[in-house]
Homo-oligomer: A and B are copies of this chain.
Amino acid sequence: MSDLVTALRARGMRLTAQRRRIVAALGRLGHATPDGVAAEVARDGEAAVAASTIYRGLEALEELGIVAHTHLDRRAPTYHLAGHADHIHLVCVGCGVVDEVPVASASSFVGAIAASRGFRADISHLAVHGRCAGCEGHS
């Protein structure tokens, strides 16, 4: 039985076709806003899924640690599969480009706050803003 099913059942939750499609859509997209997920889910052949179901589904899956979200820009939250979150996002405020670096880059930082505050950081969906090499150059 899949991890997804196991995780859901452990909390008395159910694996519905819609939730499966949401997960599949995120797998295909990588990152997406709730709206984007809805659009992708609609493109998989079956009937469209109600917006409220998308929101509730993402929330449920996030609680289970199946998906996570981050804010790449000021507007909508961006969701992705937690398993796919093996990188940190570097968002350039100059040109909007989003680069990625391994989570290991921040291991010392994570270790420091764990030691000083007992805080266990989940940087699997961390977005760091700043300026990329290009934009920093012709600043």
Contacts and interface: CB of A to CB of B under 8 A. Distances in A.
A123 B93 CA distance: 12
B122 A129 contact: yes
A99 B119 contact: yes
Contacts of A93: 122
A29 interface: no
Interface residues of A, number: 32
The majority secondary structure among interface residues of chain A is mixed
Copies in the complex: 2
A106 interface: yes
A99 to B, nearest CB: 6
Given A71-B71, A77-B74, A112-B105, A136 B122 contact: no
Interface of A: 69, 71, 74, 77, 90, 92-93, 99, 101, 105-106, 108-109, 112-113, 116-123, 125-126, 128-133, 136
Q: Which 5 A-B pairs have the closest CB atoms?
A: A118-B133, A121-B130, A109-B109, A71-B71, A106-B109
